[in-house]
Amino acid sequence: KGEKGKKRSKQGFFLFVLFGTVYGSYIINTLEVEAFYNFNMNYTVMFIGVGIFLLWDIKYSLIVVGANIISNLVFFNLFSPLSAKEFITAGGFMMISMAAFMVITLQWRYNVLKRETRNTLMLQKSEQKANQLIETANDGVITVNEKREVILINPSAQRIFEYTQEEVLGKPLSLLIDEEIIERFVAEKCNLAALTKETISTDPEDLIYGKRKDGSVFPLDVSTSKMFVDGEFYTTSIFRDITVET
C-alpha cells in the first residue's frame, strides 16, 4: 500500500507538471515579443525545471520535455503573433534548449547521487559489520597509528589488559606491551608488523609479554596486519592471553 500510494502521488504530480507545461506553452504562444521574453524564463523554471527536479525519473522527464517541445510547436503555429525569427530571438529556442539540458544534467546528477548514496550505505554496512565483529571478538583487538598510539581497543583487549577504553586511547602501545620487546622486533623487521604469530616460540625468552594495569606481565599470542588508509599506515594486532598454555 505504501509503494502504491507513493506511485500514485508521483503520477499525480507528473500529470500536474505535464498540464502546467502544456498550458504554459499555450499562454507563452499568445504573447507579444516583450511579454514573451519576460515570461518564458519563469515558465521554464516553474513548470519544467521544478517538475524534472522533483520527479527524478528519466521517463517522466522525457515526456515533460517532449510535451513542451510539441505543444510549443503546435501552439506557435496556431496562436503565436510572432514570426519564427522573433520566437527564437526572444528566447523560445533557449527555453526549449534549457528544458533538454535540464533533463540531461539533472538525470546525470541523480545517477551520480544514487550511486554515491548506494556506495556510502554499503560502506556503512560493512563498517558496522566489521565493528560488530571486533566488538564481539573473544580475542583482544588493538589498532595503532604510525606513532604507535592506540586508536582502537575492543572490549576483549580491555579485559585482557585490565584498562578501560578511555585510559588507553591516544596512549602509546608501550603502555600495554613491554617497550624492549617492541624495540627488538622493530629493529629486526623495521615495522610493527614484525609482531606476528610466526615470531612466537615456546621459549619463554622469545615470548611477547603484555602488561596489565596492575603492573603484572603475561605471555601473549600476537598476530598483526598493516593497512594504508588516507595516506597513513595503521597496524591492527590481535592478542590472546596464553598464560594457561605456557
Residue 169's pLDDT is 93
Helix (H) or strand (E) holding 55: helix 50-55
Residue 155's pLDDT is 92
- Calculate ∠ Cα 218-224-229, nearest 5°: 135
Report the distance separating Cα 8 and Cα 5, nearest Å: 5
- Range list of β-strands (E), the chain: 140-144, 150-153, 208-211, 217-229, 232-241
Closest alpha carbon to 173 in 198, 199, 191: 191
Residue 191's pLDDT is 47
Residue 193's pLDDT is 44
Q: Coil, strand or helix: which one is 239?
A: strand
Provide the b/e sequence for 226-246 (b: ≥16 CB within 10 Å). Answer: eeeeeeeebbbbbbbbeeeee
Cα–Cα separations (whole angstroms), residue 111 to 46, 48, 91, 118: 23, 19, 30, 10
DSSP conformation class of 93: H
Report the distance separating Cα 166 and Cα 174, nearest Å: 16
Q: Coil, strand or helix: which one is 203?
A: coil
> Which residues, in sequence order, are CB contacts of 122 under 8 Å at separation 6+?
none
- Whether 155 and 133 have beta carbons less than 8 Å apart is answered as no
Give burial (CB, 10 Å; 0-12/13-18/19+) of 175. Answer: middle
Cell numbers found for residue 183? 624495540
pLDDT tens digit at each of 246 positions of the chain: 566 777 777 778 778 878 877 887 888 788 887 777 677 666 666 655 665 555 566 777 778 778 878 888 898 889 888 888 777 777 777 766 776 676 667 667 777 877 888 888 887 787 788 778 888 888 899 999 888 899 999 999 999 999 999 999 999 988 988 656 655 554 554 444 444 434 434 344 456 788 888 888 888 888 878 888 778 888 888 888 887 654
pLDDT above 70 covers a percentage of the chain that reads 71
Report the distance separating Cα 9 and Cα 221, nearest Å: 61
In the block, which residue shows the cell 510535451? 67
